[in-house]
Chains A and B, each alone.
Chain A
Amino acid sequence: MNDNIIQTEKLSFSIGSKLILNDIDFTIRKGSITGFLGPNGSGKTTLLKLLSGIIKDKSFSIKSDTELKQGFIFQMVEQNLIPWKNCINNILIPFESLNRNKIDFEDVAHELLNELGLEELCYRFPNEISGGQKQLISIIRWLVYPTDILFIDEGWSMLDIVQKERIHSLIKRINKENKTTILLVSHSIEDIAMICDTCFLLSNSPGEIIDKLELKDGFVANNELIWTKAKKIFPTITKGS
């Protein structure tokens, strides 16, 4: 695999007779932050679930390291957190599930929450915190528990700009500190332009990759580039809409 962590060849996927994804070929570099931008129904979530093995299908080939440690941030915030565990225990779930001593990492989780000004959430239950806070807690989990690859299925489109900025910086931090490869699907151009270094544009149903953009020139230039190219997949949009 060399520097690549995932490589797909002719990935197509159908549910019943409906073709969801068609001939998807791409390579993901280790340590990169890759975004998949596409309209609703382009198969973004399905793609992440296929790549992470949540949906199993042997009809195509995905080459990846067999023992990758994976993390996943689901689109539905409720799916990320267990309601009967408080925030600190939710963050430490991966250690518990692997029967590893979570006490060693509890201090790390506390430090991180403190640093982010979220210490007061430690012993609250998911039911007692806002959607944005739930999202932050589920992201912090994967900062405390380092993974090789983190799949992010958008999920913060409803958050305010302050929360979004915190999430963006946390994701960059996971990528930098833990050397975690990040795969993000979104229909938000700003999210992709802000944190990704590569962006694949997916067409409407069935999802096909129609362009690959290298994003290296900072948010403004990235944003401009994606807006120009995004007209292929969102023909009716105008900037600022």
Chain B
Amino acid sequence: MDKSKKNISYYNKGFLVIILFLLIWECVVRLNWINDLVLPLPSKIFYEGGNLLSNSKFYSNFFSTLTNWSVSFVIGMFLGLAIGFISGLNSKFEQLILPITAFFRSVPPIALFPVFLILIGPGKLPIIVAGILGVIIYVFPIAHQSAETIKNKYQDLGHILKLSKYDFIKKIILPGTLINSFVSSRIAASYLFAVCIGGEIIIGGRKGIGAAILEYSEKYQLEEAYFYILIAGLLGLTLDLVISKFQNSFSLKQ
């Protein structure tokens, strides 16, 4: 079976579990086993969610998070690939860059939010910067190792094909590194999504799904807060599906 179809069918089965979970949740609250002041009814969450969907503010929050994610992902992928690629080919650059990346790998970007907040100020920018850092941390070692492995594996073939150094990099090392890195980008994408939502909550921006969760929680409008949490999960799931489809189309070429 096609891998992407397999993934979707796996998700289909998973959706049944989610529906079952929501049904149990509805029953537990309706039977007053848990107070609805603590855990609102799913039916009420969806009702309030319907109201939110008719408000333009919802879309502004939704697209704000999506924009933060997209910008961080594109820039982070580009930088992670570039730094990893160069360090995989150049041992002097590798010596310079490895300790710094090892240092940042040990510090989660969320822990750097307060620093970015002081350095950059509130708004989208500290979230995007932390997101970029998060993506680089994941993509850099993959790109680094891919470039190094491909260089070593195919340098004899490059010699036989009489490829110049430039052509060897352009025709062999670069495409191989890109494919390997894209295939491995799924974890970076999921992690980045968590960083974006977390950033919007911690930094307390005005827009974004995280900011909305914080805002409605502070107002004790739990139905709306829970609805935004569901939307965050659905958006994360959709992005994961899109990337897994993209990933599968490349995995054969790995």
Contacts and interface: CB of A to CB of B under 8 A. Distances in A.
B179 interface: yes
Given A79-B153, A84-B176, A97-B171, A127 B161 contact: no
Contacts of A74: 156-157
Given A127-B252, A127-B254, A97 B156 contact: no
A83 B254 contact: yes
B172 interface: yes
Interface string A62-101: 0000000011101000111011110000000110111000
Interface residues of B, number: 18
A22 to B, nearest CB: 24
A161 interface: no
A53 B159 contact: yes
Pick from B160, B176, B179, B253 the residue with the most CB of A within 10 Å: B160
Given A79-B153, A96-B171, A97-B171, A84 B160 contact: no
Interface in B129-180: 153-154, 156-157, 159-163, 167, 171-172, 175-176, 179
A97 B163 contact: yes
B160 A79 contact: no
Central interface residue in A84, A94, A98, A128, by most chain B CB within 10 Å: A84
Contact of B175 (A54, A84, A96, A125): A84
A235 to B, nearest CB: 33
A78 B254 CA distance: 11
A52 interface: yes
A97 B161 contact: yes
B253 A125 contact: yes
Contacts of A93: 161
B160 A70 contact: yes
Contacts of A79: 153-154, 156-157
Contacts of A80: 157
Interface residues of A, number: 23
Interface in A113-143: 125, 127-128
A52 to B, nearest CB: 7
B250 to A, nearest CB: 8
A93 B157 CA distance: 10
A82 B160 contact: no
A98 B162 CA distance: 8
A77 to B, nearest CB: 12
Contacts of A94: 161
A84 B172 CA distance: 10
Given A74-B157, A84-B176, A84-B179, A127 B253 contact: yes
Given A84-B179, A94-B161, A49 B253 contact: no
A35 to B, nearest CB: 20
B159 A128 contact: no
A183 to B, nearest CB: 13
Contacts of A85: 253
A82 B252 contact: no
A128 B167 CA distance: 27
A52 B176 CA distance: 25
Contacts of B159: 52-54
A130 B220 CA distance: 61
Given A82-B154, A82-B172, A97-B171, A54 B160 contact: yes
A58 B153 CA distance: 24
Contacts of A84: 175-176, 179, 253-254
Interface in B207-254: 252-254
A65 to B, nearest CB: 14
Nearest to B153: A79
A93 B162 CA distance: 11
Given A82-B154, A96-B171, A72 B160 contact: yes
Contacts of B171: 96-97
A72 B175 contact: no
Interface string B65-97: 000000000000000000000000000000000
Given A74-B156, A84-B176, A97-B167, 18 more contacts: A49-B156, A52-B160, A54-B159, A54-B160, A71-B160, A72-B160, A79-B157, A80-B157, A83-B176, A84-B175, A94-B161, A96-B171, A97-B161, A97-B163, A98-B162, A125-B253, A127-B253, A128-B252
Interface of A: 49, 52-54, 70-72, 74, 78-80, 82-85, 93-94, 96-98, 125, 127-128
7 contacts: A54-B159, A72-B157, A74-B156, A82-B157, A83-B179, A94-B161, A98-B161
Which 7 A-B pairs have CB atoms at the shortest separation, nearest pair first?
Answer: A84-B253, A97-B161, A72-B160, A125-B252, A54-B156, A54-B159, A97-B163
